Amino acid sequence: MSETIFSKIIKREIPADIVYEDDLCLAFKDMNPQAPLHILLIPKTPIEKIADAALTQQSLLGHLLLQTGKIAKQEGYDAFRLVMNNGADAGQTVFHLHIHILAGRPFDWPAG
């Protein structure tokens, strides 16, 4: 997998507003927020997109999901929306798996 902007953020080669970090993942504010809270949560290990994740990464993926609620709460929100874009046709622009954590405004359903 080629280097992405997110691997550079992990390596601190470019700055980001980091709100959470542990051995497995990093969470930082989206540079172009779509809601009052817009966090990107990424695994430190590079996986291009969710469809490329392996069975051996099951616990890592579970870890990411479990962190979303903790991060939202830490930032002051109980209600939030999670978004994962898988592939360019679904709107993915950075090919390092990430979960968008959005909160602080009403969200339409079905999602746009």
63 classed as catalytic = no
Q: Contact at 8 Å (CB) between 39 and 27?
A: yes
How far apart are alpha carbons 27 and 40 in whole angstroms? Answer: 5
- Is 2 an interacting residue with respect to ligand 5GP (CB under 6 A)? no
- Is 94 an interacting residue with respect to ligand 5GP (CB under 6 A)? yes
Among 23, 93, 106, 111, indicate the residue that binds ligand 5GP (CB under 6 A): 93
Interface of this chain with ligand 5GP, residues 14 to 53, rule: CB under 6 A? 16, 28-32, 40
**Alpha carbon 67 to chain centroid, angstroms:** 10
Cite the active site residues.
Answer: 98
